[in-house]
Amino acid sequence: MSADQQDPPEPADTRRPRSVYGVGTEPDARFSLANERTALAWVRTGLGLVAGGVALTSFATFAGMAGLLDVVAGVACLAGAGFAGYALVSWRRNERALRLRWRLPAPSGLPVLVVGVVVLALLLAGYAVGAATGG
């Protein structure tokens, strides 16, 4: 390239949200994409909980076993919505940390998910035992 030729100017950064893309420096794309994949995994988890809640309430209605199962289904759907929201908040927090060269924040969603799954499993097991014994 000769001295009179210049690289074209870089286009203006129009990505949103500005609170994420307007700070720091561009991280290695691999880390940014890994952060996005993690957020998408949390969204899939949330969607799975919502689908499970819908399936559970449909089954309870079909089998004539409403009551606790409907409550558990509602909690599963709300938890699914919560995890989808957590995905966005966590993605934003981690992406900003990558751009500002800060340490990544400690994950807080996994312990909540594990406790929720254990509680859900215990509730359903208790309901199944109660239904099987006539209680």
> What distance in Å separates the CA atoms of residue 29 and residue 123, rounded to the nearest whole number?
43
Question: Is the whole model's pTM more than 0.85, yes or no?
Answer: no
> What distance in Å separates the CA atoms of residue 20 and residue 103, rounded to the nearest whole number?
16
CB 56 within 8 Å of CB 74: no
Per-residue model confidence (pLDDT) at position 1: 55
Tokens of 91: 């993605």
Tokens of 102: 């800060």
Selected residue with higher pLDDT from 4 and 101 = 101
In the predicted structure, residue 40 carries a pLDDT above the cut 60: yes
> What distance in Å separates the CA atoms of residue 77 and residue 90, rounded to the nearest whole number?
20
Tokens of 71: 């409550």
In the predicted structure, residue 2 carries a pLDDT above the cut 70: no
What is the share, in percent, of the chain residues with pLDDT greater than 70?
96
Domain ranges of the chain: 27-132
- pLDDT, tens only, 76-104: 999 999 999 999 999 999 999 999 999 99
Per-residue model confidence (pLDDT) at position 126: 86
In the predicted structure, residue 10 carries a pLDDT above the cut 90: no
Helices (H) and strands (E) in the chain, counts: 4, 0
In the predicted structure, residue 4 carries a pLDDT above the cut 70: no
Per-residue exposure over 67-93, b if at least 16 CB sit within 10 Å of its own CB, e if not: eebeebbebbbebbebbbebbeebbeb
CA angle 109, 27, 15 (to 5 degrees): 85
Stretch 12-28: mean pLDDT, rounded?
88
Per-residue model confidence (pLDDT) at position 134: 77
Residue whose C-alpha is closest to residue 85's, from 119, 123, 49, 128 = 49
